[in-house]
Amino acid sequence: MSAAEATANRAAGAAVEVTDVSRWYGNVVAVNGISFALDPGVTGLLGPNGAGKTTLLNMIAGFLKPSAGEVRVLGKAAFGAPDIYRRVALVPEREAVYEFLTGYQFVQLSARMHGLPDADAATVRALRTVEMTDAAERATGGYSKGMKQRVKIAAALVHDPDVLLLDEPFNGMDPRQRLQMMALLRSMAEEGRTILFSSHILEEVERLGENVLVIVAGRLAASGDFRAIRKLMTDRPHTITIRSSDNRGLAQTLIGEESVFGVELADGKVVVRTTELSAFVATAPRAAQAAGASLFEVRPEDESLESVFEYLVAR
């Protein structure tokens, strides 16, 4: 896409507009009243498994009709409009590919279905972009998970889309491939493309997404600049349990610390609540020394991604 086209896109409004969108299956609500708009750049869609990320991506890709609300991509309603695929591409999460085709044939099929004037040149370019030229003549049925993922991305990139939607794109990739793919997505975003990728892994989003949408139980828990959301996640209340040789003495010392806002004695443990985790990590050994207590165990109680997401939703 040229810079002029990218500018035209911006002038015409957001590349992706999701307005009060819900999707339910019978009594189960998969996506609940979500609204956001995406401009060119990389956005990470972060959430635990089953949060509704795939449902949301499928609605944006025009493969699911919202039960309520509206999804517009490049100014058009996404569902039931095959024309949008001239400028939009989806990399699905499912591993399935046509296993009897070689990698080259698989990408070439995509190029030919798009009616590209030089399907072979586009195929070679896309395979080179994802570093799959060496394995291009092998049947995709024999590919590893990471190779399938890359050839799927090549098939999606072959027509040079303006909007690229990727569902858990880094699954199965080794660290080097991940870094290479992240660099590729970043450079595509710099060219003015709109890229939305989903992940349940915080670090992936942290490395790539300038903007982030956090989705939990079908609802948008947070959105915006990743650093601000990361701060929210870090500064949330943390619960830490400590076992020591003198729980009562340690509790008395800890309650005087600035980083601690709650201490409780329970079942042979000290349960501490803090909003400043890094400060507490520095404080705890000093407090133990002051109380003359030996620390046997220091365990954070709610560090799972799900509990972080629950906190964001509850705010």
Partner 1 sequence: MIGLVLTLTLRQLLGQKRTLFLAALGLLPLLASVVWRLGDGDAPAAEFAAAVPLNALIVNILLPLTALVLATAALGSEIEDGTIVYLLSKPAERWRIVAGKLLAAWGATALLVLASAALSGAVALAGEEGWRILGGFLVALAAGSLAYSSVFVLLSVVTSRALLVGLAYAFIWEAVITNFAPGVQRFSIREFTASIAEAVSDASPWVFDADLGATYSVILIVAVTAVASALAVQRLSRFELGEAP
Residues that bind partner 1 (CB under 8 A): 25-26, 28, 30, 50, 52, 54-55, 58, 61, 63-65, 80, 82-86, 89-90, 92, 94, 96-98, 100-101, 109-110, 112-115, 155-156
DSSP 139: B
Q: How far is the CB of 4 from partner 1 (least distance, A)?
A: 22
Q: How far is the CB of 217 from partner 1 (least distance, A)?
A: 11
Looking at beta carbons, which pairs linking 3-12 to residues 24 or more positions away fall under 8 Å? 3/192, 5/162, 5/192, 6/40, 6/162, 6/191, 6/192, 6/193, 7/192, 9/40, 9/74, 9/162, 9/192, 10/39, 10/40, 12/74, 12/75
Q: How far is the CB of 84 from partner 1 (least distance, A)?
A: 8
Write the CA distances from 162 to 14, 57, 241, 293, integer angstroms.
12, 16, 49, 61
- CB-nearer residue toward partner 1: 26 or 268: 26
**Cα gap 112→158, rounded to integer Å:** 10
- CB-nearer residue toward partner 1: 88 or 270: 88
Q: How far is the CB of 93 from partner 1 (least distance, A)?
A: 9
**Cα gap 296→243, rounded to integer Å:** 5
- CB-nearer residue toward partner 1: 217 or 287: 217
- CB-nearer residue toward partner 1: 100 or 261: 100
| Cα-based torsion angle of the residue sequence 214, 223, 31, 150 in order, rounded to the nearest 10 degrees | -60
Q: How far is the CB of 62 from partner 1 (least distance, A)?
A: 8
- CB-nearer residue toward partner 1: 71 or 182: 71
